[in-house]
Structure formats: structure tokens, C-alpha cells
Chains A and B, each alone.
Chain A
Amino acid sequence: MADTQPTEMMEEDEPFFSNLDLFLFSLIAGLLIYWLIFRKKAEPIPEFKKLETAAPTTRDTSFIDKMKKTGKNIVVFYGSQTGTAEEFSNRLAKDAHRYGMKGMAADPEEYDLSELSRMGEIDNSLAIFCLATYGEGDPTDNAQDFYDWLQEADADFSGLKYTVFALGNKTYEHYNAMGKYVDKRLEELGAQRIFDLGMGDDDGNLEEDFVSWREQFWPAVCEHFGVEATGEESSIRQYELKVHTDLNMNKVYTGELGRLKSFENQKPPFDSKNPFLAPVTVNRKLNKGGERHLMHLELDITGSKIRYESGDHVAVYPINDTAMVNKIGELLAVDLDTVISLNNLDEESNKKHPFPCPTTYRTALTHYLDITNSPRTNVLYELAQYASDPKDQENMRKMASSSAEGKAQYQSWVLDSCRNIVAILEDLPSLRPPIDHLCELLPRLQARYYSISSSSKVHPNSIHICAVVVEYQTKTGRVNKGVATNWLKNKMPTDNGHKATVPMYIRKSQFRLPFKSTNPIIMIGPGTGIAPFIGFIQERGWLKEQGKEVGETVLYFGCRHKNEDFLYQEELAQFEKTGVLTTLNVAFSRDQAEKVYVQHHLKNNKEAVWKLVHTDNAHIYICGDARNMARDVQTAFYEIAEELGGMSRPQAVDYIKKLMTKGRYSQDVWS
């Protein structure tokens, strides 16, 4: 009985102790947890009070104060209607950190821009203006107030450093008017431009214009403020190299621009991504003498379903010289037959590769990359890091800067001396970049355009090209060759039993004959500028054979020597004989002491010209060099209108301009 009782007592004690222990532990844990939470939650109260105190002083529209508070020294204002200028501004602001600076993008509508005069209060400060032009040379909506204010402003901007990138479209009359105005006006108000106005052309490639400008802009900023790219002496690569060792060769690009194997399995429609491989059926020299090589080629388009009109352009994809490609391989000590891909590190980007991949270095350098033109400064800047000789590195960086000395050096050493990438690698032995980075940096090899020198009415399955082979001696004693014309020159109809082919497509032109064959035409085309007019004359000849009435067909042609480069002389004589060509005027510029050009012949025939233009509704066509010939011819027309039309110069200018607007004065010119 006694034994039983002690056992019961022990049982009672055990549960009690256990409960007590549990309770105590929970209490301590709970207390600790809640206490900590209480302490953390106390934080918001002081913060809220601080906010109330701070709010009034930051309610205004001062971007200067905002920049100071956030430690920014670069502000990018955008005038944006479709969002592109805003996008560019955000990218520029983001870029700044790579150069030890801090940027912010800003909407000019939200800030008081008279504060630009206070920019000097911030060290190493810079304002960038990314401005689109809208409508008829107007500012975008969000830049309207800034524009209005700027016109009336009488501010002192001597502390402001700035640059402008303008977005526009060359097809509009007031091309980049807004950007040009701001760039000029800020300077008038005392601001200092630290880099040149950039001009983006949406009719061309706005993105490329922006990237090119930006790639020279930042080196200029670094030089101006004396800063280096922070902790990143090397540039940031955009693409990552992947070497393929066991890839099926059927998946490797061999020069195709779009669909893999599109050169083996040709399918219409043919365009810039899918060129047609046209056999060369004729390749003959046109000139009878002289140092130059002028040539006439015929491309066979039978079976391609390609259609063209007189005056259209044929686009030709040239191939780089094998010797130059091999030279790059030697200089960089690389096996050019390595199969690689360059993959964009930005996986969001639509551009997966800089050129079709996978491919070999040889194919990239032969088909895809431009190795014959002088590199732009951004390429030199990116490559400079690989020069082991500090002096070479310094020189390359200097040439890529915006300093006057650097620009002069780039102009003379690279441009005036016509150094391409091969020449640069040869002349700078310490410069040996990785070939993959070089391939990333070199621009794409572009198609070349030639005015078609045939009529589809007479030659429906054949496209004719007239071109002069580009070849010249450089100051460094090298011979530089135009990539396309030299390649075409060697395209003989029978090439060891194979048909020589040319990847091509048609780019439709707006350079067209009048619809009515009775309308008179005046054609002015010296040298190879005669190309589209051979097609025009062929077509009018064909119409005449069809029994159609054909209006006056007048040609002004110019060349250097009658016995050397009078192109298509026999064909023109035949057209003159049959009456298709009603008047042929030829100016031989170097057959006598005094130079005679097409514009001189125009003025000598001013009465006939004026009658055709003013009374008979003639259409005028000009083809050739834009810089000199086209301008001189236009001046000749002004003078004829003044003299025979009794106009003042402004009236004559307006007259010719109206002819242009009505499509009666057309130009197919290049610079």
C-alpha cells in the first residue's frame, strides 16, 4: 500500500513540471518575437514626419536640385512624339555609368529649363538634347514650351556644356530643323558644345545613325572631362564567341543573307534577303583608251520572274578580295576556317547575331563584312585596347576623340591615306585584336546599286550595267580597289566551264520616263551617268518601232576624250540616225585647253532648252555626280530661266523647285 502511493505522487509531479516548462518557454519566445516586431514597426513614424518636412522643398520643377540630390551630372532632355527620342535618351542616361558619370532622362515639359544657366553648379555636368522634328519643322508636343521659351530667352548659358542628337527624316523638307535650331541657339546663348550635332535619318537607318553617333560621343565626353571608363579599361562586348567543333556543315552559312541554302535552292520572290544568282552573259570593256576601265555587263534573269523598268536600280552583293581576307588571317595568326557563332549577350535583342551564324571567319570576312572602307573612329576606339605598344594605343584613342588634333590625325592618317583595316593592321604591328572582336566591330558589307542601262521592253530577260572600275593609288603606296567593280570586272561569261553569277535584286526607282511618249525629255548624264538613259532611249526606240509618236529626245553626254571614253558611241550614233535621239550634245572636257562640260552645252542651247521646258512640257532628267555636276547643271537652268524667262534669281529658283515638285525635274545622283 505504501509502495503504491509513492508511485502516484511521482506521476503527479511529472506532468506539472512539464507544463510549467512549456509555458515558460513559450512566454519568453513570444515576448522576444513581439518586442522585436514592435521595435521595427516603430521606424515608419519618424520617416513619415521627415517626408512631411521634405515635401514642400521638392515640389517645384527644378531639375538642378534633383540632379544634386541624386548625384547626377548628366541630364538628357528628349523631344519625343513617337517615343524614339525618349528611348534614345534613356539609353544615353544608362550609358553614363560606364564612364564614371550618372545620367537621368527628363521630359522638358516637366521642368523649368531656364535653370540650364545653373548647370555650372554641378561638377563635370552635361546636358544632352535628343530632339525629334515633327510635321513641318516643328518641335514635338512636349518640347513646344522649351522651343517657345528658347526663342525669346535672354539667358546666360556660359556654364552649360551640351550636345544635341537630332531625329528626323530626309524626305521631309525641314530635315532635323528642331535639332539644328537648338544646337545653334544654345551656342548663341553662350553654352559650350562639347560634341558635334548628330543627325538621325529615319528614311535611312535611324538606329544606326544613333549608335554611330553615340560611339564617338562618349569618348569625346571622357576626353573633355578627363575621365576614364570606370574599372573597365576594356570595352563591353555585345556578342559572345562560340566555337563549333563538330557542327554539321549543312547548318553553316556559306554567304547566304537570309534562308540557309538559299543559293542552292533559289525561290522567288527575290529581294534584299533573297538575292537571285544571275549569270553574267556579257562583260566587255567600253572605253577605247585611257587608264581607266569602263565596262558593260549583262545579267541573265531568265526564269527568275524578275521584272524591271527603265531607270530602276540593280542591287549587287559583292564579295571581298580573297587576297585581302587571307591577309587578315595571316596578320592575326588565325585559322580562317574555324566555324563560329557570335551570339548577342542581350537575349532580349531581336538581333541574335551581327551576321548570319554559324559560319566561318573566312565566310564572314568574304561575304558579310566591309574590309575595304576606312574604319570609323568607334572601331579604332574599341580596338585600341589591343595595341601592346602604348604609343599606338594612345594614337588610336586620340584619333577617336573629338579633339581638333585627334580629328586632324584621323583625317590624314586614316581617311586621306585611305587606310582600310588591313592597312591599319600592317602599319601598327603591335595591334593584334582577337579576330572575333574584329568581326563584331566591322560594319556589314552593303549591296551596291547601279542604274540599269537597258529597257525591259527591248531586253526583258537581261539587265545591263555600266560601271567604271574603282582603283587608285593611296598615299601609303598601296593600290586600293573598289570591292564591287573589281569583283564584277572579273566575272567573265565562261569561267572554267562554270557560269559566273552575281547575287542581285531589283530596287524600284522613281526615276521614270513620262507615261506619254509624246512628252519631250531632256537627259543630262556625263560619264557613267549615261546608264539609265541608254534604257530610256532603247525604250523610246521600241515605242517608235511600235508605230507610236515619240516626242523630242535630247541627250547631253560628257566625257574626257572623244577617242577614249565616249561611251556607247556606236549605239548613240545609230539612235541618232534612226531619229529616236533627236539631239545629241557631247562635251569633251579634256580634248582642248579649255574644259567644256554638259552645263556649258546646255547654256549654248538655251533657246531650244527653254522652249522645251517652258512651252512644250519637257521632263528633265539628271544622272551622275551630285556634288559638282548636278549642282552646276541646276545653276545652268537657273541662269536660263533668268535670261529667257525674265526672272530674278529667287524666281528662277522657285520655278525649278516647282518643276521638281511636279516631277518634271528628276535626279538620280550620288555623292
Chain B
Amino acid sequence: MAADSAVSNGGENILTDSDDDILNPNDLSEVLAAGTKESHDKAENSPFVKDFLRGRIKRELFKLGTTALYYVYSAIEEEIEKVKDHAVFAPLYFPSELHRQEALAKDLAYFYGEDWESQISCSAATQPYVDRIHEVGRDDPVLLVAHAWTRYMGDLSGGQILKKVAQRALKLPPTGEGLNFYHFEGIHNPTAFKRLYRSRMNELEVDAETKAKLLDEANLAFKLNLDVFTELQEIGKDIEEEVQDIGPHAHGDMGGDISKCPYYAAKMAVSGNTTYACNFAKTVLRQSTVQVILATLVAAVAGLAAWYLM
């Protein structure tokens, strides 16, 4: 019953009744896309992802995120290699286009140094994700399709936006260090590749029951990703690193506290920014004190001169 319901639900979301005879609404790629829409939206709108897209990403969090991805992709790709020649996965085996482990390793070496492997560890939220991938690989390898689809297609699409944001926000070099993960070197046309991937998914021999299980697994994959995002969000609250808004740091070594720069304060005051006008006034008042001191000195000198002349 659950199986029938899931498939039927997916079908309804994809096409109207009048289209039923035109194209097969039960193609796996369409079942997964429609059936995970809610999960996808939830992940996309999580606080962590939203902050990321606005360029409010802490370097330490980005490193931890890259670490989590390394463990997840290592697991996925390890299990994929075991079934690469099996009918359940072979059509989707694209190692030179998709494999991410090596790229992530380069990024971790950039962030942590040559001994990066001894500095990283699998976090509390990442471990269940990794465990689930290995469990699936051992017990029901066809479900690896759901994990691969969820991760690879997501990073091929949204990852291109995240890459630019991270590069600007974290001031990573334009030559790509720290961002190899997002660069799919073997794919020169992501749209065409995603179409190829969908056509290969639809060539898998999967019955209705398996499709239902794949849909459940894909939704679980989204949930596991969301758990990692939530964990990163919580860790972020304890990190004191300044959130670096996108924009040039025109004020050098002031560590981002631009309100302490007198030039910037004056400039903002002129433009009517009330916060900075207040700071500027304080600066002026402090200088008034100097004038009092000077006046006193002048008076003392004058007195001294008068005494001498008399």
C-alpha cells in the first residue's frame, strides 16, 4: 500500500491526467524529482544554507563542512566502486566526471596542511550519514542510486552558486584552491550531463516497489544532509570568528571594526549615517579636551613671562 501510494503520489505531482498517455510519469528520474521536492526545499531553506548564500560563512564552518563532505563522498564512492559493474549501478558509473573524494582531499590539504588527515574527524551528525551509506552498500546496493543522485546532482546545480559565494566571502584565491570540490573538470556542460544522468537512471531495471524504496532513501538522504547543516549551524554559534560580509575591506588592519576608523566615521557622518555621526562627535569632543590643556599652558607661560618682566 505504501509503495503504491508513493508512486501514485509522485505521478500526480508530475503530470496532469490528460498527459498520462504521452510520456511515462513513472520514470525513476521524475519519481525522485517530484517525490523529494519538499525535502529539497527544506534543505535549501535551512538557516545554514541561507546564511551561506548571503556570504555569511565562517571559515571554520566551511572547513568543517568540507570535512563532512569528504567523509560522505568517501563512503559513497567506496560503495560505488564495489557495484560499478553490477546492473543496479553500472549505467550511473561516471568516475572521471563525478568522483569528488580526490578534489575534497586537495581542499582539506589546503585548509589544514599536509597532515590534514590527522586533523579531521567525523562529526556526530556526519557519522550516521556515513553509516547509512555503508549499510545500504552492504544490504541493498540499488539504494546507492538515491544517495548518488541526491548528492551529485545537487552539487552539480547549486554548488556552482555556493562556489562563487565562498570564494568571495572567504577570500579564497581565484585559482581555485579550497574550492576544487565544486569544479567538475570532466563536465563541460552540466545541463547536458544531468540529462544524460537522468536517461541512465531511467534505464535501470527497477520495479514499482524498488522505486518506492529509492524515493524513501532519497528523502532520508536529504534528512541526513539537513542534520549536518543543523549541526554546523549550532557549532557556528560558538565560534567567535567575525562573519565577513561580502565586500572589499577598505580599512586594512582594523580587523573589520570599521567604526573605529576616523576617516570612515567622518565619511559616513557626511553621508548622513547617524551611527557614525555619533562616533564622530565623540572624536571631536575628545579633541576639545586637548584645547583646554593648551589654553592652560598658554596662560601659565604668559604668567611666567609677566613675572619675569616685573
Residues of A in contact with B (beta carbons under 8 Å apart): 23, 27, 30-31, 34-35, 37-38, 41-42, 44-45, 48, 51, 54-56, 58-60, 66, 80-84, 86, 90, 134, 141, 169, 171-172, 202-203, 350, 507-512, 514-516, 519, 619, 645, 647, 651, 655, 658-664, 666
Least CB separation from B304: chain A residue? A27
- Report if A55-B272 is in contact (Cβ < 8 Å); known contacts: A31-B301, A48-B281: yes
* B161, A41: Cβ atoms closer than 8 Å: no
Q: Which residue of B lies closest to A41 (CB)?
A: B291
**Minimal Cβ-Cβ distance residue in A for B158:** A135
Of the candidates B168, B197, B270, B277, the one whose C-beta lies within 8 Å of that of A82 is: B168
State the Cβ distance, B200 to closest chain A Cβ, in Å: 6
| Structural contact, B91 and A658, CB atoms closer than 8 A | no
Contact: A512 with B272, CB < 8 Å? no
**Additional 14 contacts, C-beta under 8 A, given A55-B277, A515-B91:** A27-B305, A31-B298, A54-B270, A59-B274, A60-B272, A82-B161, A82-B167, A82-B168, A171-B190, A203-B189, A508-B96, A508-B97, A662-B199, A666-B195
A141 and B294 contact, CB distance less than 8 A:
no
**Does chain A have a CB within 8 A of B124?**
no
Q: How far, in Å, is A173 (CB) from chain B's closest CB?
A: 9
Q: How far is the CA of A605 from the CA of B231 in the complex (A)?
A: 59
Residue in B188, B200, B288 whose beta carbon sits within 8 Å of that of A663 in the complex = B200
B10 at the A/B interface (Cβ < 8 Å)?
Answer: no
- Output the least CB separation between B299 and chain A (Å): 10
B68 to chain A, nearest CB (A): 22
Query: Could you tell me if B23 and A658 are in contact, using CB atoms closer than 8 angstroms?
Result: yes
Contacts of B160 in A (CB 8 A): 169, 202
Residue of A nearest to B271 (CB): A58
Cβ contact within 8 Å between A51 and B294? no
Complex A-B: 25 CB contacts under 8 Å: A23-B308, A27-B301, A27-B304, A27-B305, A27-B308, A38-B291, A41-B294, A45-B288, A81-B53, A82-B165, A82-B168, A83-B165, A86-B246, A171-B189, A508-B186, A511-B192, A514-B199, A514-B203, A519-B203, A651-B22, A655-B23, A662-B27, A663-B195, A663-B202, A666-B195
CA–CA, A518 to B160, complex, Å? 36
In the complex, residue of chain A having the shortest beta-carbon distance to the beta carbon of B305: A27
A34 contacts B197, C-beta separation under 8 Å: no
Q: Do B199 and A51 have beta carbons less than 8 Å apart?
A: no
Q: A515 touching B55 by the CB < 8 A rule? A: no
Mask: chain B, 293-307; 1 = CB below 8 Å from A; 0 = not: 011011001001100
B residues near A (Cβ < 8 Å) are 22-23, 27, 29-30, 53-55, 90-91, 96-97, 160-161, 164-165, 167-168, 174-175, 186-193, 195-200, 202-203, 246-248, 269-272, 274, 277, 280-281, 284, 287-288, 290-291, 294-295, 297-298, 301, 304-305, 308
Cβ distance A203 to chain B, nearest Cβ, rounded Å: 8
Tell whether, in the assembled complex, residue B161 and residue A81 are in contact, meaning their CB atoms are under 8 Å apart.
yes
Residues of A within 8 A of B165 (CB): 81-83
**Candidates B175, B287, B298, B305; contact of A34 at CB < 8 Å:** B298
A30–B188 touching, CB < 8 Å: no
Q: How far is A662 from B29 in the complex, measured between Cα atoms in Å?
A: 8
Contact status B196-A510, CB under 8 Å: yes
A512 to chain B, nearest CB (A): 6
Pair B290/A662 contact, Cβ less than 8 Å = no
Q: Is B175 touching A38 in the complex (CB atoms < 8 A)?
A: no
- Min CB gap A498→B, angstroms: 33
Known: A510-B193, A516-B203, A660-B195. A35 touches B90 (CB 8 A): no
**Known: A82-B164, A508-B96. Contact between A662 and B272, CB under 8 A?**
no
Task: Known contacts A83-B164, A658-B23; decide if A59 and B272 are in contact (CB<8 Å).
Answer: yes
Chain A: minimal CB distance from B286 (Å) = 10
With A58-B270, A658-B23 as contacts: A512 and B196 at CB distance below 8 Å: yes
For residue A661, which residues in chain B have a CB less than 8 angstroms away from its CB? Answer: 195, 198
Task: Compute how far the CA of A509 lies from the CA of B188 in the bound complex, rounded to whole angstroms.
Answer: 8
CA A60 – CA B27 in complex, angstroms? 57
